[in-house]
Structure 1
Amino acid sequence: MAEAGSGDLVRVVALLGAAVVAVPLFRRLGLGSVLGYLAAGLVIGPFGLGWFSDPQAILHVAELGVVMFLFVIGLEMRPSHLWSLRRQIFGLGTLQIAVCAVVLTLVGLAFGYSPTVSFIGASGFVLTSTAIVMQLLAERGDVALPHGQKIVSVLLFEDLLIVPLLVVVALLAPTPAVAETSRWTSIAIGAGAIVALVAVGVWLLNPLFRLLAAVKAREVMTAAALLVVLGAALLMQLGGLSMAMGAFLAGVLLSESTFRHQLEADVEPFRGLLLGLFFLGVGMALDLSLVASNWAFIVGVVLAMMVAKATCIYLVARLLHSSHVEALDRATLMAQGGEFAFVLYSTAAASGVIAAQHNANLTAIVVLSMALTPLVTLAVRPWLRKPDEKTDDLEVAEGLSGSVLMIGFGRFGQVVSQSLLARGVDVTIIETDVEMIRNASSFGFKIYYGDGTRLDVLRAAGAPAAQVIAICIDGNEAVNRIVELAKSEFPQAKLLARSYDREHSLELIHAGVDVQVRETFESAMKFGQAALCQLGVDKADARAIVEEIRRRDAERVELEIAEGLNAGTAMLYGNLRAGPTPTPFTRPRQAATPLTPETAAAAQGVARE
């Protein structure tokens, strides 16, 4: 028994050792971690050194890495944001998959496969590898960007597609078809599983985490995070649905929770380790003897499938008005088959829809396409950036520190920085506009390249030690994202934010910023005061009128905050907009209810604008 345990430990050490050696080496060579994992799996697998004989068993366990990855993605997808992506998920996703499925089926027919095998092969290949694409996007920091969100939307739709495809395989099976009542029973069970998960997420999860947080046992919170992920995956699996989609749905349901960042931090180490194990398993699953015995045919199909799929994705993207660079990037990232193809092909072989030899060939084709994807993205990378967008000569935010972390160095940020620099304050500035950074450096400003909406960039830029974080960028969603991260991860820092209008100011006040300033309010007040003076109004009277406007504006903000506290923030932007708005020189009919000291102080920030 001790010998068996020792053998298992040797395998674990071999897996970890292969990853530790290969991944840093491949990243140092600029080839990326995914290709490093795949190469390591190929070397130690049954068709390499032979240290492992059953890669499917490893893949079965490592699928939990994909599950946890989608849970983390779900945490970033608030229901309102997910709803805003509905056209991309069901519109772009449906069009892209339909076009790719038809063209890939024709490719299969061209290589001599029967119509059934061609359709099954195309259906599996059209399901892009969520694990590989998400990992590549995460390494580039593009998941939260608009073009990254389009890719995520299509991936989500493809994950949903595995269920109807398995139903199609069952209908194509030569065995007697499943009874109609059984099919309806399966649909009812799947729908019930979704309803049950939503109910648990809405009514039980937040109270559970509040209770566990009160206990202040970190390991219990970690265990609870894993319980949520694995429990949601298990529930969906029992309902005949995708485990990954169950985890994603659980993440979406917790995306509004105050424990969101804690959950992400707890799951992250397991996600990374299991996802790496998944890539190792994929590398092991590549049957080199099969490829060697039929290499010309398999390599030909792989290249034809990848080129055909990439071409279809590019054309669909351009048809829907994406830029050339965005369409090319999406085409190269999504040109491979995915992990759900293994499930589809093995099910089709077990059902007698395709032969075992076809299953082996199609599986090898998908694995090769997954292995080639990192290389293809590297080869295409020079065409994805315009010459003026290259950042090789820019200094990236890393290991920085300062009393003030300023995010954004546009016109607003430049004016703000003058007061701080004149006082000799130690200011760290990060910006994403390459041209702005280069222009600023010519005037002696030290600006670092970094995206303030990313938690890792904020940490590298010195946010954990900053006394003040000044958000000087435009764009409501980006500002709100940084505020949320800063309040959760860097509570020691005072938070100053630039807002777009009064509505955005209210959002920031409720989010807990210390000071928020509307970007055009003060300049408009000064402009109005100057206009009055030019019309002959006494300067003192003009100043008094402007101060009265400021006071009335602050009263309106306080009134809306007070009503929001009474009616609930969920009704703030619906009911209050419909109510009467006091004119600048008419006192509100309803007095504001007392505010908390923190909210009142934040509201006074509006008056000081």
Structure 2
Amino acid sequence: MAAEANANDLVQVVVLLAAGVAAVPIFKRIGLGSVLGYLAAGLAIGPFGLGFFSDSQAILHIAELGVVMFLFIIGLEMQPSRLWGMRKDIFGLGALQVLSCIVGLTGVGMAFGFSPIVAFVAGTGFVLTSTAIVMQMLQERGAISALKGQRIVSILLFEDLAIVPLLALVAFLGSGGETVTVTERLISGAIALGAIVALVLAGRYLLNPLFRLLAAANAREVMTAAALLVVLGSALAMQLSGLSMAMGAFLAGVLLSESSFRHQLEADIEPFRGILLGLFFLGVGMAIDLKVIAANWQLVAAGVVCYMVVKAVMIYAVARLLRTCHAEALERAVLMAQGGEFAFVLYSAAMAVGIINGETNAILTATIIISMVLTPLMIILHDRIVPKQQPDTSGLALPENVEGTVLLIGFGRFGQIVSQPLLARGYTLSLIDKDVEFIRDAGDFGFKVYYGDGSRPEILHAAGAATAKAILICIDDKEAALRIAEHVRHEYPLIPVLARAYDRGHAIDLLHAGVNYQIRETFESALNFSEEVLHVMGEDPELAAQLVEEFRDVDDERFALEVVGGIYAGRSLIRGNAQPADLVAARTGRERAAREAAAEAARAQGASPQT
């Protein structure tokens, strides 16, 4: 019997892993994101799908550790000084958004016929945004470190803090104010505050010495165990004191953010974080009760729409009130319009004290889960419908009848280095770029950079392409560089075009587009680096230089063969003044000369030449 139970447990583990591995790549490939993939996989293998699992709450209980570890990783990126700088957003923007949404969503609940207390609990649960979904989507969009992402993180942090007084308020409302005395509430608050102080002191005075001691022992597995101990121990301490586990993990991350072991901790926790966070979304998908939805589908559908719309409107209104631009306010409203995982905790507490019954809890939970499922779809819809925000070009000069000896397109790291010898020689440069903030920064250093997209023919003409003696394509956008090269070759065929190539394939594409010279952006620097490595290894400098030059020649010949072999057979230069046909001939000549020399040497020694 024990063997059968163990085998069944193993089957469930395999099913969980297989569901995530199969669904997530498919959903990411079709542009729906990993979160929706996990949710769909959970629904498929859950009680209302294939039935591999019957208790989704058990999965969710374990998988909450994924959210805990995710917040620990976020905390590692939040140095105390940076967090202190966010205090206005946390306690200003966060508090205003939460309070406004509570008022609006309580009104929605009352409009559905709930009593004021039930409407308050239902609306408050929906106010608590899903930290896991929002942070995952911010990460996928590369927006966590951006200013707009930091504002959302600040709001999420305030919501994590708000769960504590909200749970206390639910307990008070359920008891009718009779069994929970003021003294007991003060004691609970003191315990929570004491736990935070203890965690701060431990993080400041104990954790770094502990990790130094473990590092000296040179036991990698113990370091991993210690990292897990810090995360889970902090979460447990906060939970026992009445606070949220997520808050404890976040505080632990913040306290270790300036530690010299920060990167090691992040590397140790990351695999567990990813697996458990995926498990959390699988559990949420399993928890979708299709029977409740089917029996109350009109109420659930209306609830999802009304709660999400009202919450999005309130978020947008608060953002605009605080002078956030329309595009950022709209994106924030769409991203944070769903309910979150903390609502499950709040509704369970409300049911335990008798505020809501089991059916209401199931309906509200289904509303939260469906809103979470809809969020990735809403973001995709937002990105496809809402036009991309145009950069603010006020105060920037646009090119118009500009004349320069050289037209340089893209004044980033590569373009700046290219420009220096030309400027030193006295050439006049016409500089264009489309990074608004960079153009303003360059102006502070005395560079006159015009705003413009070099892939547009009218911008090239206005920037002086017709009168330039050379056109330099120095941007790091592969497709845009090809479009520029094609435009220039078509409109200005007699002007030399020199381009920065991203890699070997891009270099061949540029030759096909008609550039006269290309260079792979990391090729020469990598060869110089390799030559220096040979010096450090003790090789003779002349031998090191010879080895690098031989590789450069071989690479040129191989590149020429690839070009002539069918990818491109034009007359463009590859490196220096060498043409593909010249390089092929040179290689053939060298090989012939080497064979003749070998044959001559063999005859001189009286041996038969080897072929």
TM class, shorter-length = 0.5 to 0.7
* SS at 1:31 equivalent: coil
**Is the counterpart of residue 284 in structure 1 residue 299 in structure 2?**
no
Query: Residue 444 in 1 paired to residue 463 in 2?
Result: no
User: Residues 169 and 348 of structure 1 are in contact (CA less than 8 Å); yes or no, is this contact kept in structure 2?
Assistant: yes
Question: Following TM superposition, by how much is the alpha carbon of 1:294 offset from its aligned partner in structure 2, in angstroms?
Answer: 1.1
Partners of 1:223 and 1:166 in 2: how far apart?
A: 32
| 1:585-604 map, 5 Å | none
How many angstroms apart in 1 are the aligned matches of 2:123 and 2:34? Answer: 28
Instruction: Give the whole-Å Cα distance in 1 for the aligned partners of 2:229 and 2:527.
Output: 37
Check the 8 A contact 2:337/2:375 in 1, yes or no.
yes
Partners of 1:88 and 1:108 lie apart in 2 by 28
Partner of 1:133: 134
Among 195, 204, 207, the residue aligned to 1:205: 207
- Are the counterparts in 2 of residues 45 and 55 from structure 1 also a CA contact under 8 Å? yes
For 2:13 and 2:20, how far apart are their aligned partners in 1? Answer: 11
Which residue number in structure 1 is paired with residue 505 of structure 2? Answer: none
- For 1:107, the equivalent position in structure 2 comes to 108
Deviation at 1:445, TM superposition (A): 2.3
C-alpha distance in 2, partners of 1:119/1:141? 35
* Distance apart, 1:323 and its partner CA: 0.9
Which residue does 2:357 correspond to in 1? 355
1:441-500 Cα offsets, whole Å, 9 max, x none, are 983225148xxxxxxxxxxx999x98799xxxxxxxxxxxxxxxxxxxxxx9xxxxxxxx
Aligned residue number for residue 26 of structure 1:
27
- Distance in 2 (CA, whole Å) between partners of 1:145 and 1:111 is 39
Secondary structure of the equivalent of 1:194?
helix
Q: Over aligned residues, Cα RMSD in angstroms?
A: 2.9
- Summarize the Cα distance change of 1:36–1:202 in structure 2 as closer, same or farther, 3 Å threshold: same
Q: 2:264 aligned with 1:259, yes or no?
A: no
Whole-Å Cα distance in 1 between the matches of residues 107 and 527 of structure 2?
Answer: 60
> Conserved in 1, the CA contact under 8 Å of 2:41 and 2:282?
yes
- Residues 124, 340 of structure 1: 8 Å contact kept: yes
Distance 2:329 2:159 in 1: 18
Among 326, 329, 348, the residue aligned to 2:328? 326
CA distance in 1, matches of 2:340, 2:368: 7
Corresponding position of 1:302: 304
Cα deviations by residue, 1:14-72 (Å, 9 ceiling, x for unpaired): 10010011111110110000000000111111111111111111100000000001001
Pair 174,323 (structure 1): closer, same or farther in 2 beyond 3 Å: same
Q: How many residues align?
A: 433
Partner of 1:520: none
Q: Which runs of 5+ in 2 are unaligned?
A: 392-408, 424-432, 440-450, 457-470, 479-519, 534-611
Q: Contact 1:174 / 1:353 at 8 angstroms: preserved in 2?
A: no
TM-score, scaled relative to structure 1: 0.67
Task: Supply the AA of the counterpart residue of 2:14.
Answer: V
CA deviations on 1:374-402 (whole Å, 9 max, x unpaired) are 0111111134552767xxxxxxxxxxxxx
Structure 1 distance, partners of 2:168, 2:389, is: 49
Q: Distance in 1 between matches of 2:389 and 2:157?
A: 33
* Separation in structure 2 between the aligned mates of residue 462 and residue 352 of structure 1, nearest angstrom: 67
What amino acid sits opposite 1:230 in the alignment? L
SS of the aligned residue for 1:447 comes to coil
Q: Deviations over 1:477-525 (max 9, x none)?
A: xxxxxxxxxxxxxxx9xxxxxxxxxxxxxxxxxxxxxxxxxxxxxxxxx
Look up the match of 1:119. Answer: 120
Pairs within 5 Å for 1:534-549: none
Matched, 1:228 2:257: no
Task: Pick closer, same or farther for the CA change 1:421–1:51 going to 2, 3 Å.
Answer: farther
What letter matches 2:188 in structure 1? Answer: S
Equivalence map 1:406-555=2 (5 Å): 410=411, 414-418=415-419, 433=435, 439=454, 443-448=472-477
Describe the shift of the 1:468–1:122 C-alpha distance in structure 2 as closer, same or farther (beyond 3 A). farther
Of 331, 340, 343, 2:342 maps to 340
Q: Percent identity?
A: 61
Alpha-carbon shift at residue 119 of structure 1 (Å): 0.3
Please give the per-residue CA displacement for 1:180-224, whole angstroms capped at 9, x wherever unaligned.
332222122111111110011000111111222222222222111
Alpha-carbon distance between aligned partners in 1 of 2:180 and 2:59, rounded to the nearest angstrom: 32
Which of 380, 383, 387 lines up with 2:382 in the alignment?
380
Q: Find the residue that maps to 1:443 and give its secondary structure.
A: strand
Q: Which residue matches 2:589?
A: none
| Matched residue, 1:48 | 49
Matched, 1:364 2:379: no
Mark the CA change 1:236 to 1:467 in structure 2 (over 3 Å): closer, same or farther: farther
Instruction: Give the Cα–Cα distance (whole angstroms) in 2 for the partners of residues 387 and 100 of structure 1.
Output: 27
Q: Distance in 1 between matches of 2:418 and 2:324?
A: 36
Structure 1 pair 344–384 and aligned structure 2 pair: CA distance change class (3 A): same
> Once the 2 structures are TM-superposed, how far is the Cα of residue 439 of structure 1 from its aligned partner?
3.3
C-alpha change, 1:380 and 1:440, in structure 2 (3 Å) is closer
Change (3 A) 1:181 1:174: closer
Distance across 1 between alignment mates of 2:452 and 2:281: 38
User: CA separation in 2, counterparts of 1:313 and 1:60?
Assistant: 30
Q: Which amino acid aligns with 1:381?
A: D
Kept in 1, the 8 Å contact 2:410–2:474? The answer is no
CA contact (8 A) 1:236 1:246 kept: yes
One-letter code aligned to 1:355 = N
Cα distance, 1:298 vs structure 2: 0.6
What residue identity is the alignment partner of 2:42?
A: G
Which whole-Å CA distance do the structure 2 matches of 1:361 and 1:296 have between them? Answer: 11
Cα distance in 2 for residues equivalent to 1:231 and 1:256: 20
| Offset of residue 125 of structure 1 | 0.2
**Distance in structure 1 (CA, Å) of the matches to 2:233 and 2:360:** 35
Equivalences for residues 54-203 of structure 1 within 5 A: 54-174=55-175, 176-203=178-205
Q: Distance in 1 between matches of 2:232 and 2:435?
A: 41
Question: Partners in 2 of 1:210 and 1:462 — Cα distance?
Answer: 41
CA pair 84-183 structure 1, distance change in 2 beyond 3 A = same
Instruction: Report deviation, 1:255.
Output: 0.7
Q: For the Cα contact (< 8 Å) 1:437–1:447, is it kept in 2?
A: no
Distance 1:283 1:95, change over 3 A: same
